[in-house]
DNA sequence: CGCCCCATGTAAGACGTTACATGATTGA
DNA sequence: TCAATCATGTAACGTCTTACATGGGGCG
């Protein structure tokens, strides 16, 4: 398999795994929820659906019957579910942190339903592990540029550092949330 | 003018405004600093440079003379500087917050050198203004989904909220930094 | 001489954006 | 009946990614 699925493809896969939906449904979800970052334009959604179907990740069935508008509802296939799980459980690398956290957070958001709570916990722990060296490196970079860059330059870098620190705090909070839940609830 | 410059184009413009550079220099900057998010591949940089030159934003001069390898150094033109300033001073809208803060932070990072410290301050204030309603909306969204979504779902949303809160705190810190600097230094 | 870094570029392909097109159905 | 919404698509265009190509120059 030469090309892997695009970010939009995985977002669709994750949503469909929650509940079967039509292209139009997905567009509404993308444009109305906090997933606005993903397309929502028909020129992106429908081709993405066709690609996923061609790869065997999803299957669309035309809803017919009582005088209905043509409407195609898509469901995740077993193969699609396997691929979704694989993508979610990829180890978190440094590039995942630097290239916008959107993708990682999407994987985490889908993780519980797709793989289970203990997998979500695993993602969180690997995120925490990846964050520490990254923060250290950014701190060093700040020391370097602070004397030579304009104020707005190093302030911007500090902004990044702070956001990663807040992410680290969140990950600890999320870990403890899951640990409580796993100890108390699912036993 | 039909197309505006791409994000990469503005990144290049901002860097060149700091110091003239060749395509290769830019590639090194992009791949070595915390601007890794931007391309750095020759297939992106060189076409972008040609586009900018075609639009009259930059001008390249081939360094010749003492037995040198062919090397083209680019400089920002007055027109390019105007365009860079316009882009930096665009009002900050909600979409700028939701669609990754990369662009906004890039604009801020370049602002001081390109337009001046008081412009940086203006950007920070407009950011603070844009953040408040955004945070309120995210808080409402959290209330909505918390009962119905899986734990990883609302935790992911909380992560977003926390990062915007940290951004708000940073903006206040940056504002006070600039206010001190403007009162004390440049008078 | 062979190898690696400098420095620039091109070609194929995937993806997303914008804008337009098409029809069915619901409601005023 | 006229507009709005549902629901799906297509075409043109621009940009990025990946991979390859090309040559000069320093160095062991």
* Per-residue CA distances from A109 to A100, A102, A119, B112, B122 (Å): 15, 10, 11, 38, 36
Query: pLDDT value at position B115?
Result: 96
Query: pLDDT value at position A136?
Result: 95
Tens of pLDDT along B45-57? Answer: 999 999 999 999 9
Q: What share of chain B in percent tops pLDDT 70?
A: 94
Contact (CB, 8 A) for A156 and A146: no
Tens of pLDDT along B93-108? Answer: 888 998 889 999 999 9
pTM: 0.91
Query: pLDDT value at position B8?
Result: 96
Contact A111 B165 (CB under 8 A): no
Nucleotide nearest to B45 (CA to C1'): D16
- The CA distance from A154 to B173, in Å, is 13
Query: pLDDT value at position A65?
Result: 58
CA atom of A45 to C1′ atom of D5, Å: 19
Query: pLDDT value at position A130?
Result: 93
Q: Per-residue pLDDT averaged across B55-77, rounded?
A: 85
- The CA distance from B33 to B31, in Å, is 6
Contact (CB, 8 A) for B35 and B44: no
Contact A141 B166 (CB under 8 A): no
Among B102, B162, B170, the residue with its CB nearest the CB of A158 is B170
Protein footprint on strand D: which nucleotides are under 7 Å from a CB? 6-12, 14-21, 23-26
Residues packed against strand D, CB within 7 Å: A 22-25, 27, 42-43, 46-47, 49, 69-72; B 2-3, 5-9, 39, 41-44, 47-48, 51, 67-69
- The CA distance from A9 to A12, in Å, is 5
Q: Which parts of chain A register pLDDT below 70?
A: 1-3, 64-68, 185-187
CA dihedral A67, A70, A75, A79 (to 10 degrees): 130
Of A91-105, B34-48, B138-152, B162-176, which has the strongest mean pLDDT?
B162-176
Contact (CB, 8 A) for B42 and B85: no
Query: pLDDT value at position B129?
Result: 94
Tens of pLDDT along A102-143? Answer: 999 999 999 999 999 999 999 999 999 999 999 999 999 999
């Amino acid at each position: 398999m030469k090309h892997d699925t695009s970010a939009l493809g995985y977002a669709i896969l994750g949503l469909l795994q929650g509940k079967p939906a039509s292209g139009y449904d997905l567009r509404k979800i993308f444009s109305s929820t906090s997933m606005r970052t993903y397309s929502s334009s028909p020129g992106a959604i429908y081709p993405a659906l066709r690609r996923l179907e061609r790869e065997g990740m999803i299957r669309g069935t035309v809803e017919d019957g009582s005088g209905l508008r043509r409407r195609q509802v898509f469901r995740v296939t077993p193969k699609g579910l396997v691929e979704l799980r694989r993508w979610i459980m990829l180890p978190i690398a440094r590039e995942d942190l630097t290239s916008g956290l959107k993708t990682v957070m999407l994987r985490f958001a889908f993780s519980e339903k797709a793989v289970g709570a203990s997998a979500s916990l695993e993602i969180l722990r690997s995120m925490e592990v990846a964050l520490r060296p990254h923060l250290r490196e950014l701190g060093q970079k700040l020391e370097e540029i602070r004397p030579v860059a304009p104020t707005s330059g190093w302030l911007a870098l500090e902004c990044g550092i702070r956001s990663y620190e807040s992410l680290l705090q969140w990950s600890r909070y999320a870990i403890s949330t899951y640990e409580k839940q796993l100890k108390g609830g699912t036993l």
